[in-house]
Each structure stands twice: as structure tokens, then as C-alpha cells.
Amino acid sequence: MLYSATTSESKRAALRAGLASGTLQQFPGAFNPLSARLIEDKGFDGVYISGAVLAADLGLPDIGLTTLTEVAQRAGQIARMTDLPSIVDADTGFGEPMNVARTVQELENAGLAGCHIEDQFNPKRCGHLDGKQVVDLDTAAKRIRAAVDARRDPNFLIMARTDIRGTDSLRAAQDRARALVDAGADAIFPEAMRDLEEFRAIRAAVDVPILANMTEFGKSELFTTGQLHDAGVNIVIYPVTLLRSAMGAAERTLDSIQANGTQQQAVPEMQTRARLYELVDYEGYNRFDTSVFNFQVPDGR
Ligand SMILES: C[C@](O)(C(=O)O)[C@H](CC(=O)O)C(=O)O
Ligand SMILES: [Mg+2]
């Protein structure tokens, strides 16, 4: 009933344990609170909260237009819906190092287990697009140091994302990753790796957990969990996958209504009323007050 009963502190400890477990941690991207519950129900290790999805949710492109307030609020609404740890995309940290410090504290307050902060210039763009610009190492390291110094829970994960592979060599990406770990990063998100060899090269460069971004229609092939694990990756995100699937289904349903004059043909593809009620734990509310859930949902509907 209501929200997760697990404290933020235990979610963060669970995230640390998962990353140290030697098992690839799978974090699908939730596009709303209910989808986070679904991710948990299906047995995944954690929930990713994508900046691209939060921007798209507001009808905006992913170019750094969302504010800290918007991101912290929505990420908090998603994180509280699940017992799993949630990691949020904090883009470039929403400003200068002092802003990054505040960002981390707000995200801690919102119940997140960790975040990633990237080394792009503002305005930023999707890491899989061309024409990105990356800040110099000193600026990037200051963002990470500010984040690490600001956290109050030592288990709140500060992941450094580097976009440098889009503008420079693999060697430069290895050097940047190493330097960001020296600045205090707990984990590295090497963006837009071109193949598994590149993940292996980052693995060889640092001894902290590394993340693979399996976003569709981007620069990376969609590797399997087995391939990523063998390459030494510790955590994989599917950031926009559920939003793309849901929007794809929505388009097909709208087309079907237009073609058939009814949504009847689309009904078999829909989540049933019973399954929706299960996810929101409707029945749990009945245990609290029997006047709430005093009707039967027909079988399988
Ligand atoms: C991971 C990412 O930062 C996101 O916001 O989800 C994006 C995903 C995408 O645009 O496909 C990214 O920059 O890779
Ligand atoms: Mg992003």
C-alpha cells in the first residue's frame, strides 16, 4: 500500500552490493512511477530514470531544458514507488560545481540511490548524436568533486559519465575515465562506445563499476547481457526502451481506432484492469479500509 517501505539508505546499500556482486545489474528506464513498479515486479535489479525520458514527458527535446526542481520531483515520485534502487540522469549537474553540490543533496532528499553527471557543455544533447562538445578535464573533475563532497550518505552513488568518445580517441576516453575516478567518481558511464572492445578498454582503465547504455537507434549495438558481462560491464541501462515501447503501442492503438471505428482489436494488447489494480495494490487498501475494495474484478480483465 502507498509507497515503498524500504528506506533510501537501504536502497543505496543494495545498489552498492549489486555493483560489487559480480552479476550484471539490469536497470530498465521507468517512464512513470507505475512502470517502476512493473520493473520491480518483473525481477530487475533497479530502475533507471532517464533525462531524455523526463524531457520527452514534458514534450521537450533532451537538450538540458529541464530544471533540477522538475527532475528531482519526478525522479522522487518514481523512486518512492519501488523497493529497488533508482539511479537518475542528472545531465551536467544543472550548473556550476556549487549547483552540482545542491543537485546531489536534492536527489538524496528525493530518495534516489545515485546519479550520473556528465562532462558535456551546456546546452547538452543526447550522447549518441554527433556534434557534442565536452568540457576540459579540470571542469569535469570539479563537477565530480563537488558532487562527492556534497553527499551526506556515503552510499549515494556518484557516477561520472564521459561523452569524450564522441569527440576524441578511445585512449582519451580511458584517460578521462581514470581522471574522473581520481576525482572521486564511484562508477564510470562511458557514453557512445562503438563496440565491445571499447567497453573492455574502459574496463582495463579503471577499477570501479562501469555502465553500458543500451539505447536504441544510437551508436552502440544492442549487446546481450552475456556479452556485456564478458566485457566486464557491471550495470546496463535500457533508458528509453519502455517509453518507446509504450508510445509505439499507443500509436498502433490510435491507428486501430481510426481504421476500425473502435478500440476492440487493440484490447488484447492492453494491460488489463486486474493487472493495473495488482500493480497499484488496490487490494492492500482494502485491508486498510474494507469500504474501498468492496467489488470483484471479473477474472482476467
Ligand atoms: C542515457 C541518456 O542520457 C538518457 O537521457 O536516457 C540518453 C539516451 C538517449 O537519448 O537515447 C543518452 O544521451 O544516451
Ligand atoms: Mg541523458
pLDDT at 252: 98
> Is the pLDDT confidence value at 300 over 80?
no
How does residue 301 score in pLDDT terms, banded at 50, 70 and 90? low
| Residue extents of the structural domains in the chain | 8-240, 247-288
Protein residues whose CB sits closer than 6 Å to any atom of ligand 1: 50-52, 62, 89, 126-128, 213, 215, 218, 239-240
* Choice from 213, 221, 241 to test ligand 1 binding pocket (greatest atom count within 8 A of CB): 213
Report ipTM (2 d.p.): 0.99
User: From the CA of 192, how far away is ligand 1's center (Å)?
Assistant: 10
pLDDT tens digits for range 226-260: 999 999 999 999 999 999 999 999 999 999 999 99
pTM: 0.96
Question: From the centroid of its chain, how far is CA 57?
Answer: 14
Closest protein CA for atom 11 of ligand 1: 215
Instruction: Write out the chain in H/E/C secondary structure.
Output: CCCCCCCHHHHHHHHHHHHHCCCCEEEEECCCHHHHHHHHHCCCCCEEECHHHHHHHCCCCCCCCCCHHHHHHHHHHHHCCCCCCEEEECCCCCCCHHHHHHHHHHHHHCCCCEEEEECECCCCCCCCCCCCCECCHHHHHHHHHHHHHHCCCCCCEEEEEECHHHCCCHHHHHHHHHHHHHCCCCEEEECCCCCHHHHHHHHHHCCCCEEEECCCCCCCCCCCHHHHHHCCCCEEEECCHHHHHHHHHHHHHHHHHHHHCCCHHHHHHCCCHHHHHHHCCHHHHHHHCCCCCCCCCCCCC
CA distances from 76 to 37, 47, 81, 82, 282 (A): 14, 12, 9, 11, 22
CB 108 within 8 A of CB 154: no
CB 157 within 8 A of CB 209: no
Ligand with the closest atom to the CA of 237: 1
* Choice from 65, 193, 215, 245 to test ligand 1 binding pocket (greatest atom count within 8 A of CB): 215
Q: Which atom of ligand 1 is nearest to the CA of 52?
A: 5
pLDDT tens digits for range 163-196: 999 999 999 999 999 999 999 999 999 999 999 9
User: Per CATH, which fold does 8-240 belong to?
Assistant: TIM Barrel (3.20.20)
